[in-house]
Amino acid sequence: MGTTVLTAPAGWMLSSALGRVLAGLLLPVALVVLWQVAAQHAWLPPQILPAPVDVWNSGADLFRTGDLQGHVAISLLRVVEGFAVGAALGLALGVAMGLSPLVEDYVRPLFTAVAQIPSLGWIPFLMMIFGIGETLKIIVIAKAAFVPMTLNTFSGLRDVPADFVEVARALRFTRWQMLTRLMLPGAVAPIFTGIRYGLTHAWLALVAVELLASSEGLGYLLVYGRQMFWLDTVIMAMVLIGVIGFMLDKGLELVERRLQRWQVTQSESVAA
């Protein structure tokens, strides 16, 4: 596999856990060092790449004035609010469609049409109707979370493994029992996937709407930085957007794992 000549360090990097972590850090650290040196010696014009130190300082300056916290807070607040609305609606619709083929028949085509238009396409239309205030942002973010949530909830309820359904029928489950013992527990994992996708999409939609129409937030910082040629601010905002997006998803991943462990113990207790 891969390299034919395994030198000692390479071998160590491939095998040990510590080696793996260090190897992963090698490239970014080397890049940052190279970046700093290049900026100091002006190998590239400063408009192309500001010094990493400047990026850090611009973040530190904003932090000192409290501005950074303000922008991060408003972005997070918008995401949380929009996501809550969108996920709740998505859950409701997904459950309705999943449980009732009739509802599915009526709603699915319209839902698909709405889902087909990306959030970016909705923003100008919604801007014309709702203006550029907080309402707009919540609605856009809610729509972004609503679509994956609905889809995953719906398929989670529908895609119960056939053999489980047969066993349930053999055991003569009532409709209620089908729902509470079979479909809902089975749907928990896909619903959670829907939550994760929903949050990811919500975060992406937040950036989009803040780039277009905002007076504060991380997307706003990106625009501000770009207008003023503050490349360090732009990069700092990018890093924060990446870090926060990552932490939001990682946080949910941890919750998901907890949930899976809980689910396993639940099913064990049911079986017992």
Partner 1 sequence: MSDKTEWSTVPRRLGRRAFATLAAASLAAPAVHAAPAAEIRIGFASIGIDNRQFAGGSAAAIAHAEGYVERELKEVPATKVSWFFFKGAGPAVNEAFATEQLDIAIQGDLPEVVGRANGLKTRQLMANGAHAPTYLAVPPDSTIAGVDDLRGKKVALFRGTNNHLAVVKLLAAHHLTERDLQVFNMDEATSSAALVANDIDAAFGNYGTLDLAARKLCKIVYSTKGDNRAFERQATVIAREAFVAANPEITQRVITAFVRAADFASQEKNREALFQIWARSGRTADTYRADFADQTLAYRNSPLIDDFFVEQYRVQAAQAKDYGLIRHPATVDGWFDTSFLHAAVKQLGLAQAWTRYDKDGNKLPAI
Partner 2 sequence: MTERLRRAARGLVLPVLCLAAWEAASRSHLVDPRILPPLESVGATAATSLLHGTLAFDLLVSLARDMAGFVGGTIVGAALGILLGVSGIAERLVLPTFNGLRQIAILAWIPLISLWFGFGDTAKVMFILLSAFVPVTLNTYQGIRSTPADLREVATALRFTWLQRVTRLFVPAALPSMVTGMHLALIYSWVAAIGSEYFMTVGPGIGGLIISGRERFDMDLVLLGMLLLGIVGFAINRTASVLETRLLRWRP
Residues 6+ apart with CB under 8 A from 265: none
Contacting residue, 7, 47, 116, 269, with partner 1 by CB under 8 A:
47
54 touches which of partner 2, partner 1, none (CB within 5 to 8 A by kind)?
Answer: partner 1
Are 229 and 79 in contact, with CB atoms under 8 Å apart? no
List of residues contacting partner 2 (CB under 8 A): 1-4, 10, 13-14, 19-20, 23-28, 31, 47-48, 102, 105-110, 113, 116-118, 120-122, 124-125, 127-129, 203-204, 207-208, 211-212, 219, 222-223, 225-226, 229, 231, 234-235, 237-239, 241-243, 245-246
Q: How many residues does the chain have?
A: 272
Contacting residue, 46, 101, 161, 242, with partner 1 by CB under 8 A:
46
Contacting residue, 31, 44, 60, 254, with partner 1 by CB under 8 A:
44
Q: How far apart are CA 252 and CA 257, in angstroms?
A: 9
For the residues of 63-113, what is the DSSP string, one character each? HHTTHHHHHHHHHHHHHHHHHHHHHHHHHHHHHHHHH-HHHHHHHHHHHHH
Contacting residue, 4, 7, 116, 227, with partner 1 by CB under 8 A:
227
| 152 touches partner 1 (CB under 8 A) | no
110 touches which of partner 2, partner 1, none (CB within 5 to 8 A by kind)?
Answer: partner 2
Contacting residue, 33, 48, 73, 171, with partner 1 by CB under 8 A:
48
Single out the segment in contact with partner 1 by CB under 8 A; choices: 9-17, 95-103, 187-195, 218-226: 218-226
Could you tell me the smallest distance in angstroms from the CB atom of residue 108 to partner 2?
6
Q: Give the number of other CB atoms < 10 A from CB of residue 257.
A: 10
Q: Is 21 exposed, middle or buried (0-12, 13-18, 19+ CB in 10 A)?
A: exposed
CA distances from 177 to 5, 98, 102, 168 (A): 61, 16, 21, 9
Q: Which residue has the tokens 């491939």?
A: 14
| 210 touches partner 1 (CB under 8 A) | no
27 touches which of partner 1, partner 2, none (CB within 5 to 8 A by kind)?
Answer: partner 2
Residues 6+ apart with CB under 8 A from 155: 98, 190
Taking the least distance from each CB to partner 1, the nearer of 48 and 243 is 48
Binding site for partner 1 (CB under 8 A): 42-48, 54, 127-128, 131-133, 213-216, 220, 223-224, 226-232
